[in-house]
Structure formats: structure tokens, C-alpha cells
Amino acid sequence: SVWCSSAGRMSSVTVCVRFRPLSHKERKANGDKDEREEDVIFSFDRVFYEDAEQSDVYNFLAVPIVADAINGINGTIITYGQTGAGKTYSVEGPSILHCNKQKTGLVQRVVDELFQSLRSSESMAMWSVKLSMVEIYLEKVRDLLDLSKDNLQIKESKTQGIYISGATEVSIMNSSDALECLSEGIANRAVGETLQQGSTSDERLRGGKIILVDLAGSEKVEKTGAEGRVLDEAKTINKSLSALGNVINALTATGKPNHVPYRDSKLTRILQDALVGVKKISRVSELLGWQFKSGIAVLLFPQCLKCT
């Protein structure tokens, strides 16, 4: 069995795990299993068990990222796990529009908090919030807010860092603007996954970007028995996810710095600026008091839902 322990916030890269409640079917199936296997222990900044509320996840994972964004520090939240493990529920809630407050997902909470903070800050005259929403589908970046843009290019500039060139940026003034925009984007998704949502707040000189990533399922192609277009989808999804793994491995490897293959997939290229933070962490940078340009939070959804 796998044991997960909460070790407290360990660095600017926050890694948490969330177990969703078992469905009736799963509860039955699990009851029949013999559990005695080897124990494996993983430590996380925090473990959210079945009874965790959306607000618990939001408060721990996203509140620091929203606060940073207002101060011009970029932040990224990535969800990772198998299909059905609870990624979209965490990001969007049961549905982006019709849901009770308690079940509201991360996106809506981030947007609400962002506007609340901006409005209550002294410098309220000088801010603007823009929202973009893209999907990486078959290694092409599609604009979910304008379907005619189906192959956006990723570029890099001195001032903006990595950005998606030509992606629609909708100026939003309040939470309901944002929700309207998000629900339009959600309706335009091809696979309902590998979605990436970016929300930017900039005050003249300080621009902070928040990226929320709802990754595609991490299951292996062989297991799905996919064919044709579905197989192509699965292959490219696997490619992005393995590229993400390779980048993280390269960044966290000890010894002499090796090549970091950001360019192996659209996903890693878009997240390059965010992932650079991982490298800084692996050094003793925190002790040296280095400034982080970005914060990153990863919410993992375990394959084995029975873990305790």
C-alpha cells in the first residue's frame, strides 16, 4: 500500500495530493482486495483526504499564488492524475456555472479573490485583468475563446517571457465576466482536458500571471485499447506528460546541469517559465534568500484511491 504523509510546506514548489471520495462501485471493488503489499511512503506538502473541502484545497494551494500575482509574481497550478481521479472537479467544481458555493472549484475562487484583493488595495485605480483560455490538442494550441485560431504559436520576449502569440485576451472587470468567458471556453473544448487557463492581472509596471492547468489523464495508452483519432489523442497526451516528467527530472537532477528539454512539447514550452522555479528550488536557493520569479503548485491525484 501507498502511504502519503503531510510534511508541511517545504519550498516554493508546493506538491499536494488529493483523494476524491470513492464511488459506490469502487467501494465495493476495493472491499474485495487483499491489501498486504509492500509499503511505499511519499511525503507531500499536504494531503487532502476524501473529506477535504474545495475551500481547503484553495486556501492552501491557491491563496499564496493569488497574493503573489497581485505583487507581480507569476504562479501556476497544475493538476495531474488519471482520468476520473478528480482533476476537473478540483479546478472547475461540479460545473463552472451551476454549483453551490461550497463546491465551487479553484478557478472561480481564484477569480473572486483576485477581484476582491484588487478592489480593496490602495492602488485600485491602476489594474486590469485579462483572461485567455487555450487547449493543447494533438500538439496544437487552440484558442478556446476564438476557434478560428487553431494553431497558436508559442513565443518568447524579454518583457513577457514565454507567451502564446495571438491568444485572445478578454478584459474582465468582475467575476461574472470571467465566468461567462470561462464557460464559453469550456464548451469549446475538444477533449475536455489538457486545458490551460491563464488569467493575468497587470498594474502598469507589475504584471502577474496565473496559469491553471487541467491536464489530460495520465493513464497509459496500452491500457485504453484506443484506435484511430482517439489513439492519436492518447499518444500526444502521453508525449506531453512524459515531456513534463523529463523536464522535471532534468531540473531536479543533481550534478552538472543538463539539457532541459522544454521544447519537446507544447505543454512544457508554455510552462517553461513556471518550471524554471523547480530548478531554483533544487539548489539551496531558499537558504540563500533568492527571489522566486514564479510559484508553482502541483495537485496530484493518486491512481490508487484506497491509499491512506
User: Nearest-CA neighbor of 140 among 149, 152, 132, 148?
Assistant: 152
Scanning 32-40, 80-88, 110-118, 200-208 for contacts with ligand ADP by CB under 6 A, the matching segment is 80-88
Judged by CB under 5 A, the residue of 14, 88, 240, 294 near Mg ion is: 88
Judged by CB under 6 A, the residue of 26, 56, 67, 84 near ligand ADP is: 84
Contacted by 84, from ligand ADP, Mg ion, none: CB < 5 to 8 Å by type: ligand ADP
Nearest approach, Cβ of 77 to ligand ADP (angstroms)? Answer: 14
Contacted by 127, from Mg ion, ligand ADP, none: CB < 5 to 8 Å by type: none
Q: How far is 44 from 22, CA to CA, in rounded Å?
A: 21
Q: How far is 302 from 85, CA to CA, in rounded Å?
A: 7
Q: How far is CA 300 from the centre of its chain?
A: 10
> 485579462: which residue's cell?
130
Judged by CB under 6 A, the residue of 55, 94, 173, 204 near ligand ADP is: 94
The torsion angles phi and psi of 262, rounded to 5 degrees, stand at -60, -35
245 lies in the site for ligand ADP, by CB under 6 A: no
Helix/strand number for the chain, H first, E second: 11, 13
- Secondary structure (DSSP) of 94-139: S-SSS--GGG--HHHHHHHHHHHHHHHSTTTTS-EEEEEEEEEETT
Judged by CB under 6 A, the residue of 1, 7, 10, 21 near ligand ADP is: 21
Judged by CB under 6 A, the residue of 65, 66, 70, 85 near ligand ADP is: 85
Alpha helix (H) ranges present in the chain? 24-31, 54-57, 63-70, 87-92, 106-120, 175-187, 221-224, 228-252, 266-270, 272-282, 285-288
242 lies in the site for ligand ADP, by CB under 6 A: no
Contacted by 20, from Mg ion, ligand ADP, none: CB < 5 to 8 Å by type: ligand ADP
Q: How far is CA 239 from CA 92, 139, 163, 233, 289, in A?
A: 25, 9, 21, 10, 36
Nearer to ligand ADP, 57 or 70 (CB): 57
Nearer to ligand ADP, 91 or 278 (CB): 91
Residue count, binding to Mg ion (CB under 5 A): 2
86 lies in the site for ligand ADP, by CB under 6 A: yes
Contacted by 85, from Mg ion, ligand ADP, none: CB < 5 to 8 Å by type: ligand ADP
Judged by CB under 6 A, the residue of 6, 11, 43, 83 near ligand ADP is: 83
Residue count, binding to ligand ADP (CB under 6 A): 13
Nearest approach, Cβ of 180 to ligand ADP (angstroms)? Answer: 22
User: Nearest-CA neighbor of 237 among 223, 255, 218?
Assistant: 218
Q: Is 201 helix (H, G, I), strand (E, B) or coil?
A: strand
198 lies in the site for ligand ADP, by CB under 6 A: no
Site residues for ligand ADP per CB under 6 A: 20-21, 81, 83-89, 94, 217, 301
